[in-house]
Amino acid sequence: MRTLAWWLLTGGSIGMVNTLSLRWTVARFRPDAPCRAVAWAVMGALLRWGLAAALLITALQHGVASALVAFSGLWLVRWGAVCGLGLKG
């Protein structure tokens, strides 16, 4: 049970990092932004996808239940943050 809670917390943490990174990228992305802004956006996306993939691969090595709980933490925090940010705006 403790291990599953750890996977949920880890998934939630990576979900929060993904959300904050995406929020930071969107806040700085404007039509007049230089080309390097596109490179930063692409690198940020690759980093976010890489973190999520590493989490799920590592969790899957510990079992299907761990992977499902880690995915649940990732999914719940990301959608919770999207809903929270949507209600603010």
Against a cut of 0.85, is the pTM above it? no
- Show the domain range for 63: 2-88
pLDDT of residue 89: 60
Task: Provide the residue type at 26 as one letter.
Answer: V
End-to-end CA distance of the chain: 38
Query: What is the spatial distance between Cα 73 and Cα 10, in angstroms, rounded to a whole number?
Result: 7
Q: What is the DSSP code (8-state) at residue 31?
A: T
pLDDT of residue 27: 81
Query: What is the spatial distance between Cα 84 and Cα 62, in angstroms, rounded to a whole number?
Result: 32
Q: How many distinct structural domains can be found in the chain?
A: 1
Q: Are 20 and 28 in contact (CB under 8 A)?
A: no
* Selection from 70, 76, 44 nearest residue 57 by Cα: 70
In tens digits, the chain (89 residues) has pLDDT values of 788 999 999 999 999 999 888 888 888 777 787 777 788 888 889 999 999 999 999 999 999 999 999 999 999 998 898 888 777 76
